[in-house]
Chains A and B, each alone.
Chain A
Amino acid sequence: MARIPIFFLFLSFITLTDALDIAGKIAWNAACPNATTLGQARASLNEGAYSGGINSRGEFTIPDVPEGTYILSILAHDFYFDQVRVDLLPNDTLPEIRPYVPGTPLDPPSSIVLPYPIVLSARDKFNYFVPPESFNLASMLANPMMLLMVGGAGMMLLMPYLIKNLDPEALEELKEQQSKMSGLQSALQSGDFKAGLSSIMSAVDDQGQSSSTTPSKSGSSARQTRGNNRKAKR
């Protein structure tokens, strides 16, 4: 009978030196107000080698963790929690807790030391959905189809006034062009491609004549600069 207490003493001795229980708590906040909203969740060290369930008061205990460096994460379905780094050093009775950002090197450790027992709270509740696009008059009007329609209708209504306000010379030109285009259209409709083509060519020629001044100018200036260069070389 007397052997039993000795046995237990021995057991507790092992626990002190070899491994520690890591305790912590989830602090309820606006994002996650209670255990029912949190659902079944676990606190897990590394890849779940050591873990403890989170009870209705938000507390968890991870029993018998041997010395080493661990990342503690909370496995919950709907909530995002920060990870913390837990260092269990030999000859230390309390673990060292530090913040940890996923994907960052463990070395050097963060200089901030958090209090123990660990207190974590939900950063955010995951939002899985995007709101459906609601009916929007502006976006409907910005639709290219709508713009075309409105623009077309506007032009149709405005055309007579525009023509009225044009100066006689421009009006003459416009009429000429219109008659050319109608000639072209009628030629194409009647199947007389040759006539259509010649009318196009003549239209192009006209335009070419009116705009031919600029390229020649630039050409002469280019020649001039080249001449200057030659001069400079000499």
Chain B
Amino acid sequence: MRFFTTVVAVLSSVSLYVGTTWALHESDVGVVDWHKHMVGIPLSGSISTSPSFHLVNGKNIILTATTNNVLAALEPEDGSIIWRYIFDPEDRIAGYYKNATTVATLSGPGGAILRNFNALTGELLLEKRLHKPEIGALSEPLHLGKDVVFAPHSNQMYVLSNGCTISCIDGSTGEVIWSWTSPDQGSMVIHAKLTLSQSTLFATGFAKSTASFTLHATSLSLPTGELNTFVNIPSALADPLHQFILLTRPDLEKPIAIWLEQGAFRYVALTPDLLEKPRSVKGEGFARLVDIGLSEFGYAVVLRNDESSFVMRLEGMVGQAKPVWEFDDSKASEANADSRYAGVLDAHGRAHVSRVYWSHHHEKGAFDVFTAGQPHGFSTGAKTFAFNTKDHGIIGHVAVGVPDSAPIHLITTSTGSVQLWEQETLKWEREESLAAVVIAEFVEVPERATSVAGVMEEAQEGFVARVIRQIGDAQDFPRYLVNFVKRFATGSYASPSSPPPPPPTTSNSSEPEPFSRDTFGFRQLIIAATAFGKVYAIDSSTGTIVWSRVLGLGWAGQVGGRVQPVKVFVVKGVSEGGDVEVVLVAQRRASNTLVDTVAFHVNALTGSDVLGKSPDGEVLEGQDVIEGPLVEGYLLGGEKKVIVMFDEHLQVYLYPSNPSTIDYFSSVAHKLSFPLRTTIETRKRITGHQIQLSSDHHKSLAYPTWTLTLPLGEDVQAMIPQAKSGVPVASVGKVLGNRTTLYKYLDERLFVLLTVVNTPPPPPPATGSTPEDKPQPKPSHSQKCGIYVVDGAKGTVVYHAEVKAPGTPGANGKGGGCQVKAAFSENWLVYHYYEDEVEGGSVGGSKGYRMVSVEFYEGRKGDEKIMSSELTAYSNDTLNLSTYEQAYVFPYAITALATTSTKFGITSKDLIVATNNHRVQSFARRMLDPRRPNRKTTADEQEEFLIQYDPLLPNDPRRVLSHNYDVANVQKIITSPSLLESTSLVFAFGLDMFLTRVAPSNTFDVLSENFNKVQLVLTVTGLAAAILSF
């Protein structure tokens, strides 16, 4: 016995240092994993954030700010990312401003932070905070009241922030040379735009008057920032954002402010003394002035009331603006949709203005590019391009570039696709809505189907025919034999680290072969639904998009609206045979505030509508399920897969709803229970529900059975269900070194509840307080975060912990609040939080992130068994459990976490986290074992492979799954079993997409990579030869 334990101890220590590292080889990069770099959907709301072409030192790049708060530069040749800079979520980009070689941005409240980037490399040259975020004025739209202009011959820039402060800043050091704040700040004037002339800086803005806006102009002395004068120009603008523009030309001295007043043009030239009087131009019926990014070169587009448009140019020394080109056929009509306008200056300094629209008549996109020249310029005339509106929605924004002589268009669509069209051909496209994926789910796919038709034929043929066919086939035998020997001797078998097999090619038939899995089940489909009304199926082995469908709006198509995906359910899996089907449950929010719940039922392999309503290639229309919002939805996974949904009145809706599913539901309804969050008289509660079947034609109703009332001031932050995904629990217990068994406390109904506790500042006489509730030294530390594990059928609190929320939010509004992240799987709970408390903190009083690992076992000690997995919720034994927990110092803040899952659940579960330094990393379960002893391990513990407790979790870079990839802003991680028990697929999405495989206990079920087949064959032949020869 003694000998045995020593051997085990030695073995365990050896295996600790040898066996734990499962790591990537450099050659595996791109083979076992893939990564999609994204930038997000361009913000097309304003000219200062929307995509534009920019010529830097003779190189054309595309610049854009995006909805994911990223500033990016794209390569016009192939659409790759040249660089991107990811801003913090609190630090919203208000606009980017281009110079010959640099790009400046203003971001944060009121444009609090100025940054300057090298336009070609994205290097951050300058970061300067202009004012405290707290005093930042919020503006709607965000870009209003912010502007940057660059001094033409020096490194200085003039920055307008907060709508009232103008600073002159040195572009390399960030030194403020001068600063001027509007004296009547807080009044009704908001400055909007800066313009430079010889020695004067003009700031134009709007002053709110009773019914409209008045134009306001300020003139500052350029070298010193002294106020020359300011004036309210007599004017009445109804819509200052769309009816005002400031035009300048490099060769003209005076900037001209142009605006529309009751459909007529008025303009005023700006001089340092601001004494010029506004004048009117004859003619009326003008509706809008469109800034096409050429206002510094004197161009703008004017729309009349009937939507017909023309290009306007600032002309001559008098400073008048004149129409130079009228776009043909631009009137609003049945044949064409609304036009988008864009402008650009080419390398020769010629202006190009493009009009792009959707032609209902041709069912194609159309563009018309005007090129300025003498005397009036010329246009390409309307040309069409094959824009696919059924796949990409409508044209939302257009940018034009002229790298050579031919114009190229960058189109952003309503579904988030970014496309570059060179004349009539599509050069590249980026599906940027994948950076806005809301939900994603792995779907297993069937094996490659052997041709059913062939088998049928063989069954029907006669004897003679069969013999003839087989003789014919026998011709191939020698070749087969040669191949067999060759494969036997040298051939490689499918290996987990071999590159993904090429997608099934169309061998002879024109029909594409259905999507099928590979040997190890690494090829699955990821069904991902985006916030922009599109659903994608992504090949998990390569990351290519297999199919995508635009989600239809149904009746709301008339009024507009959007579809917000809520859940994805696999209603027909591989095991049930036939096609794999998924249902996407979404909420449709129509623009008239009506909310409906819609189900989209598709074939997961092809994306075709199972209901047969919408043909392939068209917009996918769903089926309205609930006339109202969805409160909760579940999939019943028994013999029939039925989706159960509840509306606001907790009425039950089934999908699909037919007699057989209704019967099935009524047979299992009494067993169902589910928790919901409710608020009764400002007290937050979690209420458990069961279902009352209706005997008549009314809908079945859910009724409350239990409530968990949270203490006053405690608010529910999140309810996290158990990570199940149909993975079985392989072992129900754990045998300890002393030969007793700890049985896992397994309860499928358990869920995790995260709360925020806003305790009011403690009153001086602390009534009924526990010693922990001592009056805090800092009143700001009154927020706590609660972590509960609750039984969903009875409301029993199995585990409860409270951690202090980190102190007051920082200057940028970040930090503070409860940022607890938790994952729960089987009997294992892990949660991550920030420990700010210096005095008496749990891990040696040190600040930092903590990862707490909690395990639940049946009974109070070993060998107690209550069969928790089969226990009814009403048993008295539900609380007969013991909890083991241990806190570890964690090196990073995290954005998401998940545990791995494997086919049979035998492999140990690793923890996968996405850190805030853009990595996806795995942590071994063994390191997170809460039973790690606080002293030297005994022989018994060594036998269990327990390691001595060390507060610091090892941060092994070789466990960084995402290695060199920059996987930014991961929102969620999902894992899926593959057909290999050892291997789990890990998919992380957020801004970027990343998929890899992990083998937490090494790949024990495949040949190791250093298995040498040649050696084996040689040995066998050698032995055979030896036996034969003797």
CA distance in complex: A126, B1012 (Å):
31
- Are A105 and B123 also in contact (CB < 8 A) when A1-B227, A130-B24 are? no
Of residues 106 to 152 in A, which have CB atoms within 8 Å of B's CB atoms?
Answer: 106-107, 126-133, 135, 140, 143, 145-146, 149, 152
The smallest C-beta distance from B774 to any residue of chain A, in angstroms, reads 19
| Closest A residue, CB atoms, query B90 | A48
Q: Are A55 and B25 in contact (CB under 8 A)?
A: no
Chain A residues contacting B26 (CB-CB under 8 Å) are: 129, 131-132
Does B963 sit at the interface, judged by CB under 8 A?
yes
Question: With the chains together, A146 CA to B1016 CA distance in Å?
Answer: 9
Given A131-B25, A156-B1026, decide whether A102 and B957 contact each other with a Cβ distance below 8 A: no
Nearest B residue to A83 via CB reads: B848
**Chain B nearest CB, measured from A194 CB (Å):** 32
Q: Which residues of chain B are near A152, meaning CB under 8 Å?
A: 1023, 1026
A97 to chain B, nearest CB (A): 16
Q: Please indicate which of the listed interface residues A35, A77, A107, A146 has the most CB atoms of chain B within 10 Å of its own CB.
A: A77
**Chain B min CB distance to A120 (Å):** 15
Interface centre among A55, A56, A128, A146 (most CB of B within 10 A): A128
For B918, what are the chain A residues with a Cβ–Cβ distance below 8 Å? Answer: 77
**54-84 of chain A: CB within 8 A of chain B:** 54-56, 60-61, 63-65, 69, 71, 75-78
Q: Which chain B residues (98-135) contact chain A, with CB distance < 8 Å?
A: 115, 118, 121, 123-127, 129, 132
A35 and B118 alpha carbons, distance in the complex (Å): 12
| B734 sits at the interface (CB 8 A) | no
- Which one, B197-205, B643-651, B808-816, B823-831, is touching chain A? B808-816
Looking at the assembled complex, report how far the CB atom of B666 sits from the nearest CB atom of chain A, in whole angstroms. Answer: 51
Chain B residues positioned under 8 Å from A4 (CB to CB): 181, 183
Decide: A128 and B963 in contact? CB cutoff 8 A: yes
B806 lies within 8 A of A49 (CB) = yes
In this complex, the member of A48, A50, A64, A106 whose beta carbon has the largest number of chain B beta carbons within 10 angstroms is: A48
Q: How many residues of B contact A (CB 8 A)?
A: 68
CA distance in complex: A36, B129 (Å): 23
Q: Is B960 interfacial (CB-CB < 8 Å)?
A: yes
**In the bound complex, what is the Cα–Cα distance between A187 and B249 (angstroms)?**
112
Find out whether the CB atom of A3 lies under 8 angstroms from the CB atom of B183: yes
Tell whether, in the assembled complex, residue A50 and residue B812 are in contact, meaning their CB atoms are under 8 Å apart: yes
Partner of B811, one of A7, A63, A133: A63
State whether A130 and B21 are in contact (beta carbons under 8 Å apart), knowing that A77-B966, A102-B889, A103-B951 are contacts in the complex: yes
| A56 B125 Cβ-Cβ under 8 A | yes
> Which segment, of A39-47, A177-185, A206-214, A220-228, faces chain B?
A39-47
Nearest Cβ on chain B to A68's Cβ, whole angstroms: 8
Shortest distance in angstroms between A149's beta carbon and chain B's nearest beta carbon?
5
Does B558 reach chain A (CB closer than 8 Å)? no
Q: Are A46 and B815 in contact (CB under 8 A)?
A: yes
B762 CB, min distance to chain A CBs, angstroms: 21
The answer to whether the Cβ of A53 comes within 8 Å of any Cβ in the partner chain is yes
B129 to chain A, nearest CB (A): 5
Known: A4-B183, A126-B957. A47 touches B834 (CB 8 A): yes
With the chains together, A53 CA to B88 CA distance in Å? 11
Chain B residues, CB < 8 A from A77: 917-919, 966
Contacts of B812 in A (CB 8 A): 49-51
Q: Is A104 an interface residue (CB 8 A)?
A: yes
Report the Cα distance A19→B132, complex, angstroms. Answer: 11
Stretch at the interface among B327-335, B745-753, B838-846, B971-979: B838-846
Whether B129 contacts A78 by the Cβ 8 Å rule is no
Q: Are B1023 and A149 in contact (CB under 8 A)?
A: yes
A71 near B1026 (CB under 8 angstroms)? Answer: no
B86 at the interface (CB under 8 A from A): yes
In the complex the two chains form, what is the Cα distance from A1 to B183 in whole Å?
7
Q: How far is the CA of A222 from the CA of B917 in the complex (A)?
A: 73
- B1015 proximal to A (CB < 8 A): yes
**For the complex, is B893 an interface residue (Cβ under 8 Å from A)?**
yes
> Which one, B124, B132, B964, contacts A53 given CB within 8 A?
B124
B916 contacts the other chain (CB 8 A): yes
Interface membership of B849, Cβ < 8 A? yes
Known contacts A39-B966, A40-B86, A53-B127; A103 and B848 CB within 8 A of each other = yes
- The number of residue pairs between A and B whose CB atoms lie closer than 8 Å in the complex comes to 158
Contacts A71-B848, A140-B1012 given; indicate if A56 touches B118 (C-beta within 8 A). yes
| Chain A residues positioned under 8 Å from B839 (CB to CB) | 107
Closest Cβ of chain B to A72, distance in Å, is 11
Closest to B84 in A: A40
Which of A103, A143, A153 lies in contact with B1026, CB distance below 8 A? A153
Known contacts A105-B844, A140-B1012, A149-B1023: does B893 contact A54 (CB below 8 Å)?
Answer: no
- Output the least CB separation between A43 and chain B (Å): 11
Q: Count contacts on A: residues with CB < 8 A to the other chain.
A: 55
- Residues 220-235 of B, flagged 1 when their CB comes within 8 A of A and 0 if not, give 0000000100000000
Chain A residues, Cβ within 8 Å of B183: 1, 3-4
Within 8 Å CB of B125, what residues of A?
A: 55-56
Residue in contact with A50 in the complex, picked from B132, B811, B952, CB distance below 8 Å? B811
Smallest distance from the beta carbon of A60 to chain B beta carbons, Å?
8
Q: Name the CB-closest residue of A to B115.
A: A53
Contact of A76 among B917, B1022, B1023 (CB under 8 A): B917
Any B CB within 8 A of the CB of A95: no
| Contact assessment for B844 and A149 in the assembled complex, using a CB-CB cutoff below 8 Å | no
* Residue A196, interface by CB 8 Å: no
Bound-complex Cα distance A106 to B1010 (A): 48
Q: Is the CB of A56 within 8 A of B124?
A: yes
The answer for the CA separation of A93 and B88 in the assembled complex, in Å, is 29
Contact status of A75 and B957, CB under 8 A, knowing A47-B819, A63-B129, A156-B1026: no
Q: Decide: A106 near B958, CB < 8 A? Known: A47-B806, A146-B1019.
A: no
Residues of A within 8 A of B847 (CB): 46, 69, 71, 106
8 Å CB interface, B886-908 against A: 889, 891, 893
CB distance from B1017 to the nearest CB of A (A): 12
Q: In chain B, residues 6-24, which have Cβ atoms closer than 8 Å to a Cβ of chain A?
A: 21, 23-24
Complex contacts, A106 vs chain B, CB 8 Å: 838, 845-847
> Complex formed: what's the CA distance from A56 to B172 in Å?
10
> Complex formed: what's the CA distance from A100 to B354 in Å?
59
Q: How far is the CA of A64 from the CA of B27 in the complex (A)?
A: 46
Partner of A127, one of B845, B919, B957, B1009: B957
Are A128 and B964 in contact, with the CB atoms below 8 A?
yes
Among residues of A, the one whose C-beta sits closest to the C-beta of B833 is: A47
With a cutoff of 8 Å between Cβ atoms, the chain B residues found around residue A140 in the complex are 1012, 1015
Contacts A78-B964, A143-B1015, A153-B1026; A61 near B127 (Cβ below 8 A): yes
Judge whether A103 and B85 touch: CB under 8 Å.
Answer: no
Q: How far is the CA of A132 from the CA of B1009 in the complex (A)?
A: 9
Contact B121 A47 (CB under 8 A): no
- Among candidates A1, A103, A127, residue contacting B844 with C-beta atoms closer than 8 Å: A103
| Contact B916 A75, beta carbon cutoff 8 Å | yes
Q: Assuming A47-B834, A77-B919, A102-B889, is B810 touching A132 (CB within 8 A)?
A: no
In the complex the two chains form, what is the Cα distance from A65 to B812 in whole Å?
A: 11
- Contact between A48 and B121 (Cβ–Cβ < 8 Å)? no
Q: Which residues of A contact B338 (CB under 8 A)?
A: none
Docked CA distance A51–B1030 (Å): 79
CB of B836 within 8 A of chain A? yes
- Complex CA–CA separation, A104 to B847 (angstroms): 9
Known: A46-B806, A51-B812. A103 touches B127 (CB 8 A): no
Question: How far apart are B69's CB and chain A's nearest CB, in angstroms?
Answer: 13
Interface CB pairs A-B, < 8 A, 20: A48-B893, A49-B807, A49-B815, A50-B810, A53-B115, A55-B123, A104-B846, A106-B845, A106-B846, A126-B960, A128-B957, A128-B963, A129-B23, A129-B25, A129-B958, A132-B1009, A133-B1010, A140-B1012, A143-B1015, A145-B1019
Task: Beyond A46-B836, A78-B964, A105-B845, list 5 extra A-B contacts (CB 8 Å).
Answer: A47-B819, A47-B893, A61-B127, A128-B960, A140-B1015
Residues of A that sit less than 8 Å from B by CB: 1, 3-4, 7, 19, 35-36, 39-40, 45-56, 60-61, 63-65, 69, 71, 75-78, 102-107, 126-133, 135, 140, 143, 145-146, 149, 152-153, 156
